[in-house]
Each structure stands twice: as structure tokens, then as C-alpha cells.
Amino acid sequence: MRSGASWIASEDAVVQDLFLDDLTEGELLALPFLFEFWAMPHQLPPEGDWRSWVILGGRGAGKTRAGAEWVRSMVEGDRPLDHGHCRRVALVGETIDQVREVMIFGDSGILACSPPDRRPDWSATRKQLTWPNGAVAQAFSAHEPEGLRGPQFDAAWVDELAKWKKARDTWDMLQFALRLGDDPRCCVTTTPRNVGLLKDLLQMPSTVTTHAPTEANRANLADSFLREVRARYAGSRLARQELDGVLLDDLDGAFWTSDMLDGCRVDSVPALDRIVVAVDPPVTGHSGSDECGIVVAGVTGGATPADWRAYVLEDASVTAASPVQWAEAAVAAFARHNADRIVAEVNQGGDLVETVIRQIDPLVPVKQVRATQGKAARAEPVAALYEQGRVSHAAPMPLLEDQLCAMTTRGYEGKASPDRLDALVWALHELMILPGALRRNPRVRSL
């Protein structure tokens, strides 16, 4: 099914001029706000009896606009002061700031989509929108699910559900609050991620879905953006999730899972006893080389190794055309985090790896490490630290986490070489595994 805009855009100039000439002045003024005319199929709610409509899409696929326009369709009547189908709407985002800046004031948010005579007023103190016809939308943060205990609604717009840290608690509280009217409904706009709540929601018989990749909305996106992200992430799990809008299941036998990584993120990092920068250099040094894995991590100590906890601070990996470029990036990360040492794998480059680093900073402490086991064998004890809840990520690191989820008991099943993963393994081996192993056997030196 094509939208009216798709139809008229496909016609020649004569037909387009006739169409526009036939419109009255009022119709011309109203045309930009008639979303049914401009919308793409995935932006329009499916017909039938449903409770939740989930719009799965890649970045920039038009999900926010679809959610904002759905809210308009729920609260607006035929005329500005006429009542619509709904009177009380919940707007739920990851944070209040996200609700305000994306769902309400964003370029595709509710205020930008509303015609002047129907535009609601925002009350910052009450965190609510009020329409000229008296309909009200209240803003809520997924960080505070208890805020939904008490209010009641006949509609809700939920944004980026798959990113919420307290997703299930917030969703459950919202379902109890959706109890007004004859047919309370919820629109969910989200980039898919492999989280339990989203998968459960998609399996519900009362849920309907629409889906679109980023390219579906390319008319409203910069060509340079599309070229860059496709060139950088083509073929990766991250591209399938963030650009194609595909919900990916974890691989069988994966050492890391999406749920595990979602659960290890923290908002703050305590004072660290030691910080290292781990480097996994590429075999060659030119524009077509594999990436140079550079990962920064730190550790807090304790009375015994079981009390230690690691924090992954940054994925500083680069694609370098020369060894000097990746060495500069590693030394810059060392200075940025005030690290204690650079740990560099030398299987491929030998002493040359340390020599290149010292060309950038002759005083930086460098430790050479050499792999004696396969990648899966080296990664498994590090993955066990995550399973024990002893490793946290200080920020989202999608490319690194993409590689982690592709490491299985059968080996690495991702694209190209897992350089970021290798660097992470070396960092946590240096901080967590080697000190404990040395206590048990002083001769243990490498993986």
C-alpha cells in the first residue's frame, strides 16, 4: 500500500500541478499535517483488534514520527476543540530528558507534528502536555517504574523499550495503568535488541508489528550518513540490528549474550586501583588492514581475588593505515585514562610492536604478551568473569559487544577478526586472571 505522497511523487509534473491546483487554501495549509497522506506503510497502525503496536526499525527509520502522529490521532478530534478517542496518555521513555527532548520537543516529536490550532502546551513543572480540547499526556521515566503506580490512562506511547534498564518493572506498571476507556492501546517505537521483555511482547497474541530498515526513510536522511554507516558496519550484527531493525537472537554456545551485557552496564565507576590499555595490533599496516583492538580497563582490589571487580572504560580501537597511527591511538588512550601500563600482544609483530609504541612515547610502560592458546580458549575464562558479575561496562560499546556476542564454543563466528575482543581479553587477563593464577602458581605467565 502506497501513501498519497508516494503516489503523487511518482506522477509527472503535470499531474502534480493539477493535484495541487485543485486544493483550496485551507487544504494546502492542512496538507503538511495530514500524516496519512505522507506516511510510509510501517508508520501507520495495523487494522484489527490489538493492544500493543510495536514499530521495529533501524536508526532514522521514522519511528519517532510514527509514535508522535499516533498520539495525535488518539487525542485530536475533527475540530481543534473536539474530543478525540483518548483523553489521558502516558509518554514513557528511558529518562524524562529523553521524553522531553525526543518525544515532545524533538524534530519528529509531538510539538513539531502538531498544527498550530491543535498544538498542546508543555508544563515543565507538571511534566505534561495539555491539548486545546483538554486531552493530557504525562511524561514518565523508565528509571522510575513506581511513578506509574496510581495514574490511569487510555493510551500510551513507549519509546526505545529495548534500552530500558528497568524494562519489565516499568512495562508491568504501565499495563496496570492502561485501564481507561473501551480500548486502551499502546504504541511502542524501538530499535530491536535481544532483551527478554521485547521478545515476550512480540509473542503476545494481542501485539501487532510493523518494521522498516533505516533506508526506508532515506529521503529524510543525509546520503553521507547512509554511506558512512553502511561502509563502516556492513555485514555486522550491529548493522542488522541498528540499521536493518532486525531482532537478533544470541548464537548457540555464545560466551556472551545480549542480556548479560545489558546487565553489566553501570552509570559510574569507583576509584580504580589499576588501569591498563590492552592492544591487539593488526598483522599489516595499511588501509585494508584489520582493526587494531585497543581497550581500556581498570580494577578495584580486595582482600582476595574473588573480591576484585573490573571496569571496561573505553573501546578505543582504530583502523590504522600505519603502525604509527595505532600506536598514537594507544598512547593517547594511556594518557587519557592515566593508565599504569600498555599490554600489547606481540605474536605477529614481535619486538617491533613495543618499538613502535616507544616511538610515540619512549617512557610509557609496555608489557609484551604472547598467545599460546586459541581465541575461544583465551576468551572463556574472561566470559566466566562476566557470568560471575565481576565485570562492568562504563559506557555502551556496540562494536566491542558485537564481537563478544559472536564468540562461541566453536570459535569466533563474526565478521573479520575479533581485534576488539582480543584486546578486552588481554586487559582482563592482566587485571583479573593473571594475578589470581600467579597466587596459585608463580610460573603462570601468559594465555
pLDDT confidence tier of residue 237, bands split at 50, 70 and 90: low
What local confidence, expressed as pLDDT, does residue 235 receive?
61
pLDDT: is 17 or 122 the higher one?
Answer: 122
Q: Under a CB-based contact definition with an 8 Å cutoff, are residues 188 and 70 in contact? A: no
pLDDT digits (tens, 9 = 90+) for 410-437: 889 887 789 999 999 999 999 999 886 5
pLDDT at 110 over 90: yes
Contacts (Cβ under 8 Å, ≥6 apart) of 31: 23, 37
Backbone angles phi, psi at 94, to 5 degrees: -60, -40
Rounded alpha-carbon distances, angstroms, from residue 334 to 82, 328, 357: 62, 10, 11
Is residue 190 within 8 A of residue 159, CB to CB? The reply is: yes
How sure is the predictor about 33, in pLDDT bands with cuts at 50, 70 and 90? confident
The residue type found at 101 is: E
User: Do the beta carbons of residue 148 and residue 90 sit within 8 Å?
Assistant: yes
The pTM score is: 0.63
pLDDT at 11: 60
Note the pLDDT of residue 349: 65
The predicted structure's pLDDT at residue 287: 52
Q: At what angle do helices 419-428 and 398-405 cross, to 10 degrees?
A: 90
- pLDDT at 250 exceeding the cut of 90: no
Instruction: Supply the mean pLDDT for the chain.
Output: 87
Q: According to the model, what pLDDT value does residue 439 have? A: 53
Per residue in 339-392, pLDDT (tens digit) is: 999 999 987 767 788 999 999 999 999 999 988 888 889 999 999 999 999 999
Give percent of the chain above pLDDT 70: 89
pLDDT digit string, tens, across residues 126-167: 999 999 999 999 999 999 999 999 999 999 999 999 889 899
Give yes or no for residue 232 having a pLDDT over 50.
yes
Under 8 Å between Cβ of 72 and 113: yes
Q: Work out the pLDDT band at 1, boundaries 50, 70, 90.
A: very low
- If you average pLDDT over residues 56-74, what whole number do you get? 93
**Tens digits of residue pLDDT in 296-324:** 999 998 777 778 999 999 999 998 878 99
Which tens digit of pLDDT belongs to each residue from 163-220? Answer: 898 999 999 999 999 999 999 999 999 988 878 899 899 999 999 999 988 988 888 8
> Higher confidence at residue 317 or residue 13?
317
- Identify whether the C-beta of residue 284 lies closer than 8 Å to the C-beta of residue 257: no
pLDDT-wise least confident of 80-94, 276-290, 305-319: 276-290
pLDDT at 2 over 60: no
